[in-house]
Every structure is written in C-alpha cells, then in structure tokens.
Amino acid sequence: MEPTLLRGKPVVQEMEATLSERVKKLFLKGTKPCLATILVGNDPASTTYVRMKARACERNQLESRQIHLPETTDTAALIDVIKNLNIDPGVHGILLQHPVPRHIEERAAFEAIVPEKDVDGVTSWGFGRMSFGLSSYHSCTPEAVMNILDYYEIPIKRKRAVVLGRSPILGKPVSMLLLNRDATVITCHSHTQHIDEIVRQADILVAAVGKNKFVQGSWVKPGAVIIDAGYSENTGDVDYAACLDVVSAITPVPGGVGPVTIANLLRNTVVAAEQTLR
C-alpha cells in the first residue's frame, strides 16, 4: 500500500482561506497587519526563507517590513532594533530570522521581543505558556507539525512519539505540544545512546536535528508516520527514499512542513493585529 504523502499545500490553502476573511475585516477597521522580519548577515538559506515569507505576506495582503542588518551587528545593536519595533504601533509581529551570527547572544535577542509581538513563539514567556496549555503564540514550525497531523487526521492520543532534536524553538516545543495531546513522548538529542533503537519504537517520528538524511530506513517501525522538519539543499533529516516503503505517511521535503510554518507565522501576525483593536 502506498504511503500517504503529507503535503503542506492543502493545509496552507485551508489556513489562508480563513486568513483572507480576517484580513479584510481588519482593512475595514483601518488596520493592515504588518510583519517585521530581521535578517542579520547574508546566510543563503536565511535569505531564501525571508524572501518566501515576504511573498506569502504579499499573497495574503499583509505588510512585510524587512530589516537587513550587516554580519558585524552586535547583540546590543540588534536589541535596539527590536526595541524600536516593539514600540512601533504599525508593526504587529516581529520575526528574528534564525540562526543569527555566532557572536550574537541569540537568546537575549529573542527575549527582547515583547510577548504581544512574539508571533514566532521564541520567548521563554511564550514557551512556558504553551507548555502549560495556556494562550500564547506557538512556535511556528512545531505548530505546523501539529497542523499537518490534524489535517490528515493522524491519531496522536496514546501514540508513542519520538522527537529527534531539542532546540528551544523546535524540538522542545513540539515535544510539549505532543505531550499536551496525550502522546507518550521521547525526546532524543546529541547525547542519546542507541537512537536507532528508540526511533524504531515510534508511531510518530518528528525529525528536527538539522542533519541531512540522518534517519535511515532500517531505523523506522513499519507503518510509522514521519514528519520531517529538517531542510538542507532540498532534502530533510530523513532518508526519504529509504523510508518510503516502510512508513504509512511521510512529509516530503520540500513541500511539507515549511509552507505550513510560514502560514502559521502569518496567522499569528493577523491575530496580533486583531488584539490591538480590542
């Protein structure tokens, strides 16, 4: 039996259809949702991501304000830029493109974003509320994982989920979201021993390690569902071809998680704009 390809496009189309009506209502009230994107340096992948987000904003009639800072920008200067965006009433959401150059204290920069404009869910405040199931902007890629599972009606409750990766904006939050949906979650990282044996237990596998074709077909439990959140030169963290004959469902790379991540970013920005009118 052919596995189900968990494509992001239909998920995005459904999300954007709802988004369109909400944006129109904001226009009638004199508000145009605005996402400010900060890019530090000239990393090719980051530049591509920022461009994709700008195109998505244009397609959905959001304003995209792009701030491109030189590679030499230090932490203090970056935080000053963020603080100015925090107090700008015309900006509803702030995205600091990850990763920033190594000399910058990324966590300090993330924490400088005020919660009401943290539409990418990167602050510790947002993470804490999300973990407790309270209202907040969820990290966009973890939320995209959940969107895909829900759209394709993949059961989560009582399933064993294995998350590969523990980054504060992907691995950790997606583990919390799955846990809050009553999955039994194992989070693996660079110090985890016998990862292949652990992966083989997974009903749902979320790959988020940033290592090209890290997961081998022999690691995967027959009938498992794989959500590949990695991306590197049009391939993900999973050896797609080797896993295709084993799984029941799998996301393609590209065309899986990435587009849904951007749709979440736009939706959060629209929600932030709506909040300013209440």
Residues tagged active-site: 53, 97, 120
- Cα within 13 Å of Cα(53), Cβ side: 30
Q: Give the DSSP H/E element, type plus range, for residue 186.
A: strand 184-188
Burial class (CB in 10 A: 0-12, 13-18, 19+), 137: buried
Structure tokens at 239: 């050896």
Nearest to 65 by CA among 54, 76, 79: 54
DSSP string, 215-238: B-GGGSPTT-EEEE---BTTB-SB
CA distances from 26 to 192, 237, 273 (A): 48, 39, 8
Termini Cα distance of the chain: 51
